[in-house]
DNA sequence: CAAAACCTGTTATACTATTAACAAATCATT
DNA sequence: AATGATTTGTTAATAGTATAACAGGTTTTG
C-alpha cells in the first residue's frame, strides 16, 4: 500500500532504520528480517513491517529484506544521496560541541556556516567551519542557499534571532533553547529540549517504574 | 477526574508548563488562562485543560488558574522541591558542554559527578564537577546514591558502559549516543538522538511542507 | 441585580499509532 | 514435488492522543 504522506511517527523512525541498515551493510550482512531488525533498533517487528509497507513491497515473503536494496531506498528517501548544508547560530558551549561533531559518520549532513554576535568569535574558523558576524547572516544564508538552522543562542535571544532567520528565508529550525518560538506556520521547528527530557525521565522514574517493571521501557 | 497514572504525552509536557509558569510568576502575573498559556507554550488550550485535569480541579471556572498555586503544585509533582543529583559519563565534546550548562536556572537538577576513561581528564574538576576514573564509577554512584546518568561516550562504548551502570544500580539513562542499548526492562532509557532529529527535520521539510502550509508546524 | 463575557472540567468525537494475527508467498529439505 | 519452516504485507483489533463542543460555574459590566 504505497502512500504519498507517511505518518509522522513513521517518519521519525526512518533515520534510525537507515543508520542500522548501514551497520548491517558494513558488517557484510546480505538480508535482514523484521524480527532481527527489531532486536537492534528496539522497535516492534510489526511496526517495522508496517512502516516499510508505506513505501510499497520492499521485502520478499519467506526471505526478508535485502539489506543493500533497502539501504539504497532509504538513502534516496532521506535525501542522504547528496550533502545537505545547514547553519548554526550561537557558537557557545553547545554550539562548539555540535560544530566539532558535525554529524560526520553515516549522516550526509554538514554544518557549513556558523554565526555569532561575539566579535571575538565572528571572523574565525571553528572546527573547520567559518563563523560569520550576525550582520552577514541573512546574506550568507541566501548565498549558500541554506534553509535549515541549528539554534544555540541564549534563551532570551531565541525569538529575535529566529525572526532574523525568517528574513533569510529559513524553512526549518532545530531549536536547542528552552523557549517555544513564535513563527509563521510554514516554518518547521524541531524543539530539542534537553532540560525537559531530563525532567521527564526523572518524572517517569518516580511515577511509573514502580508499577510497570513489566514493560519494555525504552522511551522516545 | 484525578488519576494516579498520567498519560505519557501529558508527562512530557509537564516540565514545559512548569518552566513557563516560572516565567509568568517572575513577571508578577497572578492568574493565567489555558488560552493565554496555550499561546506561549504552543500547546492547544484544550490539551492544557485536559492535562491539568488529570491532577484534579486546579483552576476556577470563569477565572483561570492561580499562577502561584499551579507553580507550587507542579514543583512538587516534578520533584523540583528538592535537588536531584545526576552523573555524566564521557567528558568529551558534548559532555563538557552539558557539564558547563549543568541545568542551572529553574531546573532543580545538578550533575554532581562525572566519569571518563581518559586518565588526563579523570581526577580533574571540570566546570566545578569532579571527574572520576571508570574504576571508581560503580562505587561513587552507590555512595552518592545517584540513579540517573547522562551518557555521552563514543557510540562503540555505549553498550559496555551501560552494563557497568546497571551494576551500579542506575535506574535511568539519558542516552546521547546513536546506539539503541539493550538493558533490563526496569531501567528507563531516554534516547536523545540529535542526528536523527535533524534528519527527521530535513525529511519533514522535503515531504510535508509543500502540502500543508496550513497547519502549525511545531514538532516534538 | 441582570446580562454578557469568560473560562474550566468533562463528554463526545476524531485522529494517530501500535500490535496481534494470519493468509499468501517464498525458501529449504527431503 | 511435497512438506515444513519462514517471513512478508495487510487486515482487524486495540491503545493512545488531540481537539471540539458545551454545560456549569465565576467574574465583569452596565
Ligand atoms: N550547553 C548545554 O549543554 C545546553 C543544554 C540545554 C540547553 N541549552 C540551551 O542552548 C542554548 C545555548 O547554550 P550554551 O550553553 O551554548 O550558551 P552559551 O552562552 O555558551 O552560548 C551562546 C552563544 O550565542 C552567542 N549569542 C548571544 N546572543 C546572540 C545573538 N543575538 N545572535 C547570535 N549569537 C548570539 C553568544 O556569543 C554565545 O557564543 C541556550 O539557550 C541554552 O539554554 C544548552
Ligand atoms: N558532540 C556532539 O555534538 C554530538 C551530537 C550528537 C551525538 N553525539 C554523541 O554523543 C557521544 C559523545 O560525543 P562527543 O562528541 O562528546 O565525543 P568525544 O569523543 O568528544 O567524547 C567522548 C568521551 O568519552 C570518553 N570515553 C571513551 N570511552 C569511554 C569509556 N569506555 N568509558 C567512559 N568514558 C569513555 C572519552 O575519553 C571522551 O572524553 C557520541 O556517542 C556521539 O555520537 C555527540
Q: How confident is the model at residue B4 (pLDDT cuts 50, 70, 90)?
A: confident
Q: What is the pLDDT of residues B27-57, one digit of tens each?
A: 999 999 999 999 999 999 999 999 999 999 9
- Does the distance separating the beta carbons of A41 and B220 come in below 8 Å? no
Distances (CA, A) of A188 to A88, B46, B97: 16, 22, 26
- Report how far residue B101's alpha carbon sits from residue B129's, in angstroms, rounded to the nearest whole number: 11
CATH at residue A25: 1.10.10.10
- The closest ligand to the CA of B196 turns out to be 2
User: Which protein residue has the closest C-alpha to ligand 2 atom 42?
Assistant: B177
Q: Measured between alpha carbons, how far is A27 from A23 in angstroms, rounded to an integer?
A: 6
Q: Which of B202, B203, B216 to mutate to test the interface with A (most CBs of A within 10 A)?
A: B202
Query: Which stretches of chain A drop beneath a pLDDT of 50?
Result: 211-217
Distance A107 CA to ligand 2 centre (A): 17
Residue B30, domain extent: 8-77
Q: Where does residue B30 rank: exposed (0-12), middle (13-18), buried (19+ CB within 10 A)? A: exposed
**Do A132 and A61 lie in a common domain?**
no
Nearest to B196, CA basis, from B219, B180, B178? B178
In a domain, A179, yes or no: yes
Q: How far is A65 from chain B (nearest CA, A)?
A: 21
d(CA A139, CA A141): 6
Q: Which atom of ligand 2 is nearest to the CA of B155?
A: 41
Closest alpha carbon to B176 in B159, B188, B190: B190
Q: Is B198 in the pocket of ligand 2 (CB under 6 A)?
A: no
Q: Would you place residue B208 in the very low, low, confident or very high pLDDT band (cuts 50, 70, 90)?
A: confident
Domains of chain B: total: 2
The residue with cell 548491517 is A24
For position B33, what pLDDT does the model report? 98
Mode of pairing for the β-strands spanning A148-151 and A84-89: parallel
Does A202 fall in a domain? no
Judge if A35 and A110 occupy the same domain.
Answer: no
**pLDDT one-digit tens code per residue, A91-129:** 999 999 999 998 976 689 999 999 999 999 999 999 999
Give the DSSP letter string of A16-59: HHHHHHHHHHHTT--EE-HHHHHHHHTS-HHHHHHHHHTT---S
Query: Which residue of B40, B199, B216 to mutate against A (max A Cβ within 10 Å)?
Result: B199
Of A14, A150, A193, the CB nearest to B203: A14
| Strand, helix or coil for residue A128 | coil
Residues B137-151, mean pLDDT to the nearest whole number: 97
Q: What is the DSSP string of chain B?
A: ---SS--HHHHHHHHHHHHHHHHHHHTT--EE-HHHHHHHHTS-HHHHHHHHHTT---SBTTTBEEHHHHHHHHHHHTTTTS-EEEEEE--SHHHHHHHHHTT-SS--EEEEEEE-S-TTTTTSEETTEEEE-GGGHHHHHHHTT--EEEE-S-GGGHHHHHHHHHHTT--EEEE-SSS-----TTSEEEE--HHHHHHHHHHHHHHTTTT-TTS--EE-
Domain assignment of residue B30, yes or no: yes
Percent of chain A with pLDDT over 70: 92
Percent of chain B scored above 70 by pLDDT? 92
- Can you name the residues that pair with A172 across neighbouring β-strands? A148, A188
- Ligand 2 atom 3 nearest Cα: A98
Counting one residue from chain A and one from chain B, the pairs whose CB atoms sit within 8 A come to 221
Please identify which residue in the block is written with the cell numbers 525532567.
Answer: A199
Instruction: For residue B149, list its beta bridge partners.
Output: B87, B173
CB of A116 sitting under 6 A from ligand 1: yes
Cβ of A194 below 6 Å from ligand 1: yes
Chain segment A41-64, per-residue pLDDT in tens: 999 999 999 999 999 999 999 999
End residue of a domain, out of B77, B98, B126: B77
CATH of the domain at A189: 3.40.50.720
Taking the C1' atom of every nucleotide in all shown strands and the CA of B32, the nearest one is C7
Is the CB of B178 inside a 6 Å radius of any atom of ligand 2?
Answer: yes
User: Among the atoms of ligand 1, which is closest to the Cα of residue B105?
Assistant: 43
Choosing from A36, A51, A77, the residue where a domain stops is A77
Candidate from A190, A201, A208 with C-beta closest to B220:
A190
pTM of the model: 0.95
Q: Distance between CA A43 and CA B76 in Å, rounded?
A: 34
The answer to whether residue A101 is domain-embedded is yes
pLDDT digits (tens, 9 = 90+) for B66-96: 999 999 999 999 988 899 999 999 999 999 9
Asked if residue A189 belongs to a domain, the reply is yes
Asked if the Cβ–Cβ distance from B97 to A94 is below 8 Å, we say: yes
Residue whose CA is minimally distant from D27 C1': B62
Amino acid at each position: 500500500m504505497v502512500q504519498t504522506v507517511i505518518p509522522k511517527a513513521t517518519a521519525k523512525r526512518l533515520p534510525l532504520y537507515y543508520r542500522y541498515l548501514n551497520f548491517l551493510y558494513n558488517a557484510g550482512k546480505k538480508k535482514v528480517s523484521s524480527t532481527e531488525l527489531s532486536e537492534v533498533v528496539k522497535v516492534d517487528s510489526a511496526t517495522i513491517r508496517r512502516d516499510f509497507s508505506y513505501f510499497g513491497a520492499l521485502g520478499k515473503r519467506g526471505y526478508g529484506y535485502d539489506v543493500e536494496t533497502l539501504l539504497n531506498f532509504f538513502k534516496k528517501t532521506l535525501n542522504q544521496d547528496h550533502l545537505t548544508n545547514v547553519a548554526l547560530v550561537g557558537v557557545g558551549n553547545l554550539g562548539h560541541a555540535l560544530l566539532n561533531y558535525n554529524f560526520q559518520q553515516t549522516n550526509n549532513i554538514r554544518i557549513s556556516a556558523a554565526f555569532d554576535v561575539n566579535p571575538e568569535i565572528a571572523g574565525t574558523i571553528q572546527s573547520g567551519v567559518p563563523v560569520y558576524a550576525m550582520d552577514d547572516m541573512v546574506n550568507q544564508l541566501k548565498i549558500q542557499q541554506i534553509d535549515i538552522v541549528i539554534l544555540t543562542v541564549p534563551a532570551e535571544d531565541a525569538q529575535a534571532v529566529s525572526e532574523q532567520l525568517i528574513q533569510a528565508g529559513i524553512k526549518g529550525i532545530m531549536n536547542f533553547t528552552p523557549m517555544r518560538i513564535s513563527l509563521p506556520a510554514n516554518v518547521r521547528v524541531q524543539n530539542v529540549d534537553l532540560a525537559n527530557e531530563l525532567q521527564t525521565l526523572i518524572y517517569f522514574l518516580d511515577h511509573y517504574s514502580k508499577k510497570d517493571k513489566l514493560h519494555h521501557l525504552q522511551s522516545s
